[in-house]
């Protein structure tokens, strides 16, 4: 069944999710964004109509997907009458209960991945976390998600909040550590690419070893001399020193 | 040319480096470790003789590789007469100058990777950092390293210290963040495997985007509500809260 879908949002998630839905044969008929320019940019990729007023929303679409920043969801939901529409949001940290109970069918469709507009991503193995207010709508969402990914899971709002939180640790914070490492290298005129095999292997290890088993380096060995040398090397960056100390302590206490 | 090599050490680096050297056609003739059991374990894999006394060291080998903990290198070097032997250490944070100048040929052979005994690793793309006291010995080491990897680089002691430091950020600390994420999931009865696609994508991104461009999540968006929710979820783990706050601040200040 081909669905006519309205995408509310034009950011990273909206962009990649639209592409994946179109890939699965569905149609994005409208893209809504408060900024018309943003709506237009994504709508052009989707062969959809860009709108920047909720009054122009199509009333007969099969699914309305709210893929906007977490903090804006509540307001948007309160300004649109979704009573007899199928509506989902895509946010990890926002409860299902942000939707008023007067809506007949509402849910959450949360792809647990990091999306950047500049990089393509394969949806096929992305965990898609589904929650809905009725069993019937849950089934509907699972069937759509299963067209996009082989990894669809029923996840309630409390679990989803924790999953979102762990994404911050395993992705955003990890990426910031990559940033710091690259920064130290470039300051010392060393090609940042020297890190790539290490970064690749560190992430690949988790397929075979638990992070506990996989740990190596000065902190797990309690090698105080190396730690001291590293803190000295960071003497001009008190913030990096603080991160170094805190994470080294964490590793040492864990092992 | 097939080299007869003595491996001093029996840990992760010694184990993987021995395997790679044997793979390239060389022979490990002795494995030294202070603990005979450890020497024996690696020696059996290498078809080598295990020894736990420096007095039993073969005197005519082509290369002596010291792959022991950083802090033990100085002492070992002072107890063995390497004057007319070819000797290297494999440590990132230890200077070339740990070797006495009376030795004719000494150097550093530092593979920049995380090694765990339980996991095989392909040497072919591992950066191997080479330094030596003479151009001739440097050339000799580069030729051996090039048999193991297509990524051999001349790196001096100062650069190498910084490279080693960045490995702690990009590997050990990253792995600790994986550990924390898995820990939060398992406490909430969620399968830890849900993280794997995100971890894979986060590391794969660096092939296309700089970590600065690749950053996503609440901190870079300055989404204070999500950050507050996350800190509340971590209320029973003050240590995790501290890491969360420090790294979020770091991301926010960077962008």
Question: Do B127 and B200 have their domain in common?
Answer: no
Question: Do A175 and A118 have their domain in common?
Answer: no
Question: Do A20 and A138 have their domain in common?
Answer: yes
What average pLDDT score do residues A40-46 get?
Answer: 98
What is the domain range of residue B58?
Answer: 4-155
> Which one of A155, A174, A201 terminates a domain?
A155
Contacting residues of A for B168, CB less than 8 Å apart? 217-219, 230, 244, 248
Chain A residue with the nearest C-alpha to that of B230: A165
Question: Do B115 and B25 have their domain in common?
Answer: yes
Nearest chain A Cα distance for residue B102, angstroms: 26
> Which one of A155, A186, A201 terminates a domain?
A155
Question: Do A68 and A188 have their domain in common?
Answer: no
pLDDT of res. B183 = 97
> Which one of B108, B123, B155 terminates a domain?
B155
Question: Do A147 and A170 have their domain in common?
Answer: no
pLDDT tens figures, A124-155: 999 999 999 999 999 999 999 999 999 999 99
CATH number at B177 reads 1.10.1040.20
Rounded CA-CA distance B22/B10 in Å is 15
Contacting residues of B for A201, CB less than 8 Å apart? 113-114, 121, 171
Question: Do B129 and B231 have their domain in common?
Answer: no
Question: Do B146 and B165 have their domain in common?
Answer: no
pLDDT of res. A117 = 86
Q: Residue B28's beta-bridge partner residues?
A: B5
**CA separation, residue B207 to residues A103, A114, A169, A178 (Å):** 44, 15, 20, 12
Question: Do B49 and B147 have their domain in common?
Answer: yes
Q: Residue A51's beta-bridge partner residues?
A: A32
CATH number at B78 reads 3.40.50.720
Return the closest-CA partner of residue B94 out of B110, B70, B115: B70
A198 and B112 in contact by Cβ < 8 A? yes
Confidence grade of residue A254 (pLDDT, cut at 50, 70, 90): very high
pLDDT of res. B117 = 86
Q: Which residues contact A159 (CB under 8 A, 6 or more apart)?
A: A129, B188, B189, B190
Total domains in chain B come to 2
Looking at chain A, the whole-number percentage of residues with pLDDT higher than 90 is 95
Question: Do B133 and B193 have their domain in common?
Answer: no
Strands (E), chain A: 4-8, 27-32, 49-51, 63-66, 86-89, 105-111, 128-132, 152-154
Confidence grade of residue A109 (pLDDT, cut at 50, 70, 90): very high
Return the closest-CA partner of residue B164 out of A184, A22, A153: A184
Question: Do A129 and A167 have their domain in common?
Answer: no
Please check whether residue B61 is in contact with residue B82, taking contact to mean a CB–CB distance below 8 angstroms. no
Pairing of strands A63-66, A86-89: parallel
Rounded CA-CA distance B152/B157 in Å is 15
Question: Do B142 and B189 have their domain in common?
Answer: no
Q: The pTM is what?
A: 0.93
Pick out chain B residues at pLDDT < 70: none
B174 by DSSP, 3-state: which? helix
Rounded CA-CA distance A127/A189 in Å is 39
């Amino acid at each position: 069944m081909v669905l006519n879908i309205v995408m509310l949002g034009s950011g990273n998630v909206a962009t990649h999710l639209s592409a994946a839905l179109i890939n699965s044969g569905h149609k994005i008929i409208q893209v809504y964004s408060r900024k018309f320019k943003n709506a237009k940019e994504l709508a052009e990729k989707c062969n959809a109509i860009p709108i920047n007023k909720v009054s122009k929303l199509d009333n007969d679409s099969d699914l309305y997907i709210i893929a906007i920043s977490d903090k804006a969801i509540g307001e948007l939901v309160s300004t649109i009458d979704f009573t007899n529409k199928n509506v989902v949001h895509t946010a990890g940290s926002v409860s299902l209960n942000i939707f008023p109970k007067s809506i007949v069918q509402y849910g959450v469709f949360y792809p647990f991945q990091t999306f950047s507009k500049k990089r393509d991503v394969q949806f096929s193995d992305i965990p898609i976390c589904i929650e809905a207010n009725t069993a019937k709508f849950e089934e509907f969402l699972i069937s759509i998600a299963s067209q996009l990914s082989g990894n669809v899971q029923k996840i309630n709002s409390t679990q989803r909040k924790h999953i979102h939180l762990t994404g911050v640790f395993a992705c955003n914070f990890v990426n910031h550590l990559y940033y710091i490492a690259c920064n130290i290298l470039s300051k010392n005129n060393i090609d940042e690419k020297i890190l790539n095999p290490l970064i690749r292997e560190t992430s690949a290890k988790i397929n075979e070893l638990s992070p506990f088993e996989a740990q190596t380096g000065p902190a797990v060995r309690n090698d105080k001399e190396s730690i001291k040398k590293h803190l000295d090397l960071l003497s001009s960056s008190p913030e990096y020193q603080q991160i170094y100390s805190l994470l080294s302590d964490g590793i040492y206490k864990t092992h």
